[in-house]
Amino acid sequence: MFWIAVIVVLLGLITWKFYLKPYRVWRNMGVPQTNPVIFFGDTWATFFKFMSLPQWMSWIYNKHPESKYTGMYQFTIPVLAVRDPAMIRQLAVKDFDYFTDHNSFTISDDIDPLWSGNLFSLKGQTWRDMRALLSGSFTSSKMRALYHLIYEEAVKFSEHFKNKNEQLIRLELKDSFTRFTNDVIASTAFGIKVDSLENPDNEFYKMGKVMTNFNGFWFLLRFIGIILCPWLFKIFGITFLPGKAEEFFIKTIKETIKVREEQKIVRPDMINLLLEVKNGQSTKEENDLVPDTGFAVVQEHVKAKKQVNITDMDIASQAVIFFLAGFDTVSMAMCYTCYELAINPEIQDKLKKEIKETNERANGKPSYEDILEMKYLDMVISESLRKWPVAPAADRVCVKPYTLEPTEPYERKIHFEVGMSFWIPVYGLHRDPKYYPEPEKFIPERFSEENKGKLTPYTYFPFGVGPRACIGSRFALLEVKLVLFHLLKEFSLVTTEETAVPLKFDNASLNFIPDGGFPLGLKRD
């Protein structure tokens, strides 16, 4: 009986220390918080498929609408979901030095060098040095240099459907646009020409599908494990990304670099830009007058402090994160934009008119500048990214103790310990009627020349905010603009009997994709 009592007491102490006490962090600081579930925290809703990802994001954002923030828990990790624009600016920009990193999805350089070396995963000064080094490869001048490569892929994509002998072409947009972004990245980031529409089973596309499969039990297990016990992954040599896909991309990059260096091949693509960095060549902006690719472009914050050397593996790491971002998230932006155009034909007609006028003015061959002068196209894409941000949340991790001072009489000091984090609920902010009246409506005029200056600062960040925002925003916007230009020049986007209006989301998916995908039709003009 005595030992049973001892065991019960020990179990109680363990439960309190590891499963109950962690969920009192915010309450003890006077922060309004959620009602977390033991072990799962607030991820229970998506883990057990009670909510879709958009529903969950909205639920967190609207949990305490009277407060600037809500305390929540990612499993047992305390996270502050910040909904106040001024506070977002303070934490993500002004006091960025205290929150320089993303949540850890890395194991170690020796076990998983491809993933741990990419710009998203790097931390601290190592991240700063790499970001400053790479930023010169993503300027507007560099995007103009890559323009014709993306242009060629967009023409090829449109021609594929134009050559079909059908008045109405039914297609699943996600599959089609993923193939397009695959080919763009293969060309611009890896220097490889593939045609994923004509040759749907090419190795590059198949490995991309493997790399970006974020559903299923094994991915979920890997995702949870790498957050809670990365040391276990290191012991067993488990990588975050699938091993066969990692091997394929490492081999592809290294072979490409070897051939280019041996044969002195120069091709205006991302590999060449990164090789320039490797060889110590300047990546500064050649022409300050080169127009930027859109309103949503992220401005660079990080400046180089010292010259650092990069290896072939570093180049492979950056190419792979570039691939992951472009393959899935950019194709999603294309899907949502086309969906909105299909269900809002009056907006599509206005955009098609601008496309026709631009095409005629450019004699059928629009330049980089011609595309970027299309104001309504930029408004449409900006509004699509507002309503459907492809990164519905952004995170930052505290790297040194920080105290958030109160600004209201009813607030208390919030003490961040190292390892605690805050989230920016982008999806919730973008749909808050306080900042965007009638947020469920698709209104490109929100981003007109007259109106975009009236937006509340720090309520719009489809590519993130602050120094850690997405480095590839210019590339992504240019890619979306070119494919829309060439597609809508030949076709009109229309709904079919399979198109869901409004969209419904799959509770089982961790991707930001609706249930049933994006079935739409291309109707010849």
Q: Check whether 320 has a pLDDT greater than 70.
A: yes
Q: What is the mean pLDDT of residues 176-198?
A: 91
Domain count, the chain: 1
Q: Check whether 225 has a pLDDT greater than 70.
A: no
List of residues 6+ apart from 380 with CB closer than 8 A: 337, 340, 341, 347, 351, 444, 484
Sign of the dihedral through C-alpha 445, 380, 384, 100: negative
Q: Check whether 5 has a pLDDT greater than 70.
A: no
H, E, C per residue of 337-399: HHHHHHHCHHHHHHHHHHHHHHHHHCCCCCCHHHHHCCHHHHHHHHHHHHHCCCCCCEEEECC
311-335 as b/e: b if 16+ CB within 10 A? ebebbbbbbbbbbbbbbbbbbbbbb
The range of the structural domain enclosing residue 514 comes to 2-524
List of residues 6+ apart from 454 with CB closer than 8 A: none
On average, the pLDDT of the chain sits at 86
Q: Position of tokens 């060449």? A: 272
**Residues of the chain above pLDDT 90, percent:** 51
Q: Check whether 173 has a pLDDT greater than 90.
A: yes
Q: How far is CA 384 from the centre of its chain?
A: 14
Which of 420, 386, 428 has the alpha carbon at shortest distance from 402? Answer: 420
Residue 369 binned pLDDT confidence (cut-offs 50, 70, 90): very high
3-state secondary structure of 499: coil
User: How far apart are alpha carbons 255 and 277 in whole angstroms?
Assistant: 18
Pairing type for strands 69-74 and 394-397 reads: unpaired
Asked if 249 and 207 touch (Cβ cutoff 8 Å), the reply is yes
User: How far apart are alpha carbons 421 and 396 in whole angstroms?
Assistant: 6
Asked if 143 and 474 touch (Cβ cutoff 8 Å), the reply is yes
Asked if 327 and 178 touch (Cβ cutoff 8 Å), the reply is yes
Asked if 100 and 127 touch (Cβ cutoff 8 Å), the reply is yes
User: DSSP 3-state helix, strand, coil percentages of the chain (rounded to 5)?
Assistant: 50, 10, 40
Q: In the prediction, which pLDDT does 223 show? A: 63
3-state secondary structure of 81: strand
Least trusted range by pLDDT, from 14-18, 74-78, 337-341:
14-18
Asked if 32 and 64 touch (Cβ cutoff 8 Å), the reply is yes
Least trusted range by pLDDT, from 182-191, 350-359, 484-493:
182-191
φ, ψ at 171 (rounded to 5°) = -155, 160
Least trusted range by pLDDT, from 8-17, 30-39, 425-434:
8-17
Q: What is the mean pLDDT of residues 275-285?
A: 68
Pairing type for strands 421-424 and 77-82 reads: parallel
Q: In the prediction, which pLDDT does 402 show? A: 97
- Which domain CATH number covers 240? 1.10.630.10
Q: Check whether 345 has a pLDDT greater than 80.
A: yes
User: How far apart are alpha carbons 163 and 391 in whole angstroms?
Assistant: 35
Pairing type for strands 402-404 and 414-416 reads: antiparallel
Q: What is the pLDDT of residues 99-114, one digit of tens each?
A: 999 886 655 566 677 7
Least trusted range by pLDDT, from 280-294, 321-335, 489-503:
280-294
Asked if 400 and 418 touch (Cβ cutoff 8 Å), the reply is yes
φ, ψ at 310 (rounded to 5°) = -120, 150
Asked if 60 and 72 touch (Cβ cutoff 8 Å), the reply is yes
Q: Is 411 left (phi over 0), alpha (psi -120 to 50) or beta?
A: beta
User: How far apart are alpha carbons 327 and 179 in whole angstroms?
Assistant: 8
Q: In the prediction, which pLDDT does 106 show? A: 58
Residue bearing the bigger pLDDT, 130 or 283: 130
Residue 195 binned pLDDT confidence (cut-offs 50, 70, 90): very high
Residue bearing the bigger pLDDT, 1 or 201: 201
List of residues 6+ apart from 125 with CB closer than 8 A: none
86-95 as b/e: b if 16+ CB within 10 A? ebbebbbbee
List of residues 6+ apart from 88 with CB closer than 8 A: 82, 424, 458, 465
Residue type at 306 in one-letter notation: K
Q: What is the mean pLDDT of residues 336-343?
A: 98
φ, ψ at 432 (rounded to 5°) = -85, 120
Asked if 15 and 471 touch (Cβ cutoff 8 Å), the reply is no
Q: What is the mean pLDDT of residues 255-264?
A: 86
3-state secondary structure of 514: strand
Partners of 424 in the β-ladder: 394
Identify whether 502 is preceded by a cis peptide bond (ω within 30 of 0): yes
User: How far apart are alpha carbons 95 and 86 in whole angstroms?
Assistant: 12
